[in-house]
């Protein structure tokens, strides 16, 4: 078991996941966990995450007294490295410029087991405002970034290894190898844990939590809620009652397609068409956070209504994944980025308890669990779709007319992606309708119509993303067809921004 001390980094769960990918169990504890709490997990190694704060601020996170005296290997990442430096009498300074993004790492310590098998130079991902100016006495520097910042240090006995960059982020070329070196070469982990075990354990936990109660589940058609339902159905059978709400913000043909898949999965599903309610509730609302809140609350109200019809329903099952949890700023020390409806927007007076069996998992772990449980491939493969649906892709206020335009454009775009056989290479692809009119010419007529933006990204978890290098022919076909076939659009643009600095969705 590896215990990760979370100092509030956006990437903490990524660390946990990378560790699990190497079949080593990992758990996250808040930075202020006591030594007893840490040791009760019987760790074989400890990782201290990065964080948004500066160690130079007086009230920034500090680890439990005695943490560094534990006789266990420690890996400090970014903030974790700076904490280590301070603890042992090194110095930390505000960086001259915030270092953000890709950097070239140069390994200077050929003996360091953490860097074993890694080339002398490789790409790493940096994200910090402070750096270690002076390595503490008793530590040796292991690597530098090309512009001379200390990128790593260790104690010669390998009790402590620390790095300034983020080995857990997929943009760090050799990140997996580096974490693997920590787990297997330094901590001596075995690597025999897997998701099948996790699923079995989770089924037991669901049974224990729910007892004889009934559970209702809001199915969205996406991977997350479907896998959560499959897992819960495997645990409590008939006592899971699913509800599929059409919120009027779905893609073209989505409701029908999804219902068919659920029938195939033999889930108990009631269909509620609430599109009128949602679209009315959103009328005139422009602020993205407000849209999310309205959608979240409307959703929950409808579930409550449906739940009342089911005697003994006490639980609401949701397919919340870990990225939703972190981005809602539910942990100590993490900053709020967007409120995701299935976490942050819950009304306070909700009568149902939340059951979120996937909240520790990343998307691809969720998919893997789905496959283990026999969820149909068309659902497991499906691109993620945000809870607020087309509302956050139809910028500005929502009207039926705009939603229809967006649906039509989105459908064409996805048809062209599918026709080119690119769907599975892409993490998410979608159209966005902009609240902007531009001038065009069609036939001999001047037009003044809307702009449609196309976006496609690759990602491993939605936390960081790279814009997808879409072949020009696919863009050309989509653009021509959208302008020809979708009334109200006369211009198509392609989004070439990664995350960060943009988010995946436009709102
Ligand atoms: P962002 O836009 O935050 O998106 O970079 C990251 C991933 O989350 C999805 N997303 C949401 N999912 N409720 C959801 O269930 C939401 O409010 C929400 N906002 C974004 C987004 O599609 C991407 O996969």
What is the tens place of the pLDDT at every residue in 151-167? 999 999 999 999 999 99
Q: Which of 298, 504, 507 to mutate to test the pocket of ligand 1 (most atoms within 8 A of CB)?
A: 504
499 CB under 6 A from ligand 1? Answer: yes
Number of C-beta neighbours around residue 186 at 10 A: 22
Atom of ligand 1 nearest to the CA of 427: 24
CB of 319 closer than 8 Å to CB of 366: yes
Confidence check on the interface: ipTM exceeds 0.85, yes or no: yes
Question: Can you list the alpha helix ranges (DSSP code H) found in 375-461?
Answer: 377-380, 400-419
CB of 435 closer than 8 Å to CB of 396: yes
Q: Please give the annotated binding residues for ATP, written as ranges.
A: 220-226
Q: Ligand 1, atom 17: nearest CA belongs to which residue?
A: 340
According to the model, what pLDDT value does residue 344 have? 45
Percentage of residues of the chain with pLDDT beyond 70 = 95
According to the model, what pLDDT value does residue 345 have? 44
459 CB under 6 A from ligand 1? Answer: no
Number of C-beta neighbours around residue 249 at 10 A: 26
393 CB under 6 A from ligand 1? Answer: no
- Confidence band for 463, pLDDT divided at 50, 70 and 90: confident
Atom of ligand 1 nearest to the CA of 341: 17
428 CB under 6 A from ligand 1? Answer: yes
Question: Can you list the alpha helix ranges (DSSP code H) found in 105-253?
Answer: 175-180, 195-210, 223-236
- Confidence band for 340, pLDDT divided at 50, 70 and 90: low
- Catalytic positions: 78, 166, 168
How remote is the CA of residue 165 from the centroid of ligand 1, in Å?
Answer: 26
The closest of 392, 216, 226 to 295, measured between CA atoms, is 392
Atom of ligand 1 nearest to the CA of 222: 15
Q: What's the mean per-residue pLDDT of the chain? A: 91
33 CB under 6 A from ligand 1? Answer: no
Give the residues across from 233 on adjacent strands: none
The closest of 42, 31, 94, 95 to 67, measured between CA atoms, is 31
- Confidence band for 334, pLDDT divided at 50, 70 and 90: low
Q: Ligand 1, atom 12: nearest CA belongs to which residue?
A: 386
- C-alpha distances in angstroms, 106 versus 115, 149, 164, 461? 10, 10, 12, 28
342 CB under 6 A from ligand 1? Answer: yes
- Confidence band for 499, pLDDT divided at 50, 70 and 90: very high
What is the tens place of the pLDDT at every residue in 122-178? 999 998 889 999 999 999 999 999 888 999 999 999 999 999 999 999 889 999 999
What the chain holds in terms of domains, given with CATH numbers, is: 2-186 (3.40.50.880), 195-380 (3.40.50.620), 400-494 (3.30.300.10)
What is the tens place of the pLDDT at every residue in 49-104? 999 999 999 999 999 999 999 999 999 999 999 999 999 999 999 988 777 888 99
Atom of ligand 1 nearest to the CA of 338: 3
Task: Find the length of the chain.
Answer: 507
Q: Ligand 1, atom 11: nearest CA belongs to which residue?
A: 386
Question: Strand 91-107 and strand 121-134: pairing?
Answer: antiparallel
**Prediction pTM value:** 0.72
Burial class of 441 by CB neighbour count within 10 A (0 to 12, 13 to 18, 19+): exposed
Q: Which of 88-92, 333-337, 345-349 has the highest mean pLDDT?
A: 88-92
Q: Ligand 1, atom 16: nearest CA belongs to which residue?
A: 340
Handedness of CA 199, 204, 207, 208 (dihedral sign): negative
Number of C-beta neighbours around residue 481 at 10 A: 18
363 CB under 6 A from ligand 1? Answer: no
- C-alpha distances in angstroms, 317 versus 225, 226, 470, 505? 8, 10, 37, 25
Q: Which of 384, 391, 501 to mutate to test the pocket of ligand 1 (most atoms within 8 A of CB)?
A: 384
The token pair at 432 is: 């966005």
d(CA 262, CA 288): 31
């Amino acid at each position: 078991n590896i215990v990760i001390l979370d100092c509030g980094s956006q990437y903490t769960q990524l660390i946990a996941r990378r560790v699990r990918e190497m079949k080593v169990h990992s758990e996250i504890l808040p930075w202020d966990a006591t030594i007893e709490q840490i040791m009760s997990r019987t760790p074989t190694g400890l990782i201290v995450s990065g964080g948004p704060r500066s160690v130079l601020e007086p009230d920034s996170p500090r680890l439990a007294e005695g943490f560094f005296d534990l006789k266990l290997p420690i890996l400090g990442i970014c903030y974790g490295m700076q904490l280590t430096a301070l603890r042992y009498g090194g110095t930390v300074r505000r960086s001259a410029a915030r270092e953000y993004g890709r950097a070239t790492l140069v390994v200077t310590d050929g003996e360091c087991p953490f860097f074993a098998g890694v080339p002398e130079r490789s790409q790493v991902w940096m994200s910090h405002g402070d750096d270690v100016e002076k390595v503490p006495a008793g530590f040796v520097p292991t690597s530098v970034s090309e512009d001379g910042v200390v990128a790593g240090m260790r104690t010669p006995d390998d009790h402590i290894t620390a790095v300034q960059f983020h080995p857990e982020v997929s943009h760090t070329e050799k990140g997996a190898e580096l974490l693997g070196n920590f787990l297997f070469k330094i901590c001596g982990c075995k690597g025999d844990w897997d998701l099948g075990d996790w699923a079995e354990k989770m089924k037991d936990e669901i049974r224990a939590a729910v007892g004889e109660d009934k559970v209702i589940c809001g199915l969205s058609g996406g991977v997350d809620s479907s896998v959560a339902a499959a897992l819960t159905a495997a645990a409590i059978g008939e006592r899971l009652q699913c509800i599929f709400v059409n919120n009027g913000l779905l893609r073209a043909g989505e409701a029908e397609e999804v219902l068919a898949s659920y029938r195939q999965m033999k889930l108990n599903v009631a269909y509620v068409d609430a599109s009128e309610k949602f679209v009315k509730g959103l009328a005139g609302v422009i602020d993205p956070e407000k849209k999310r809140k309205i959608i979240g609350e409307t959703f929950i109200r409808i579930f409550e209504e449906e739940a009342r019809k089911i005697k003994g329903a006490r639980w609401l099952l949701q397919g919340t994944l870990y990225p939703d949890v972190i981005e809602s700023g539910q942990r100590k020390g993490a900053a709020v980025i967007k409120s995701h409806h299935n976490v942050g927007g819950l009304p306070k007076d909700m009568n149902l308890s939340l059951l979120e069996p996937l909240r520790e998992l990343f998307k691809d772990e969720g998919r893997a669990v789905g496959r283990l449980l026999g969820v149909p491939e068309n659902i497991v493969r499906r691109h993620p779709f945000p809870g607020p649906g087309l509302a956050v892709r139809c910028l500005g206020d929502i009207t039926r007319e705009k939603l229809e335009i967006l649906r039509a454009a989105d459908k064409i775009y996805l048809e062209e992606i599918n026709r080119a056989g690119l769907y599975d290479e892409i993490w998410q692809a979608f159209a966005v309708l902009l609240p902007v009119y531009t001038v065009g010419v069609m036939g001999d007529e001047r037009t003044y119509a809307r702009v449609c933006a196309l976006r496609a990204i690759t990602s491993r978890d939605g936390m960081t993303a790279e814009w997808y290098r879409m072949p020009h022919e696919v863009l050309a076909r989509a653009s021509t067809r959208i302008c020809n076939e979708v009334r109200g659009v006369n211009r198509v643009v392609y989004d070439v921004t990664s995350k960060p600095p943009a988010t995946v969705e436009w709102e």
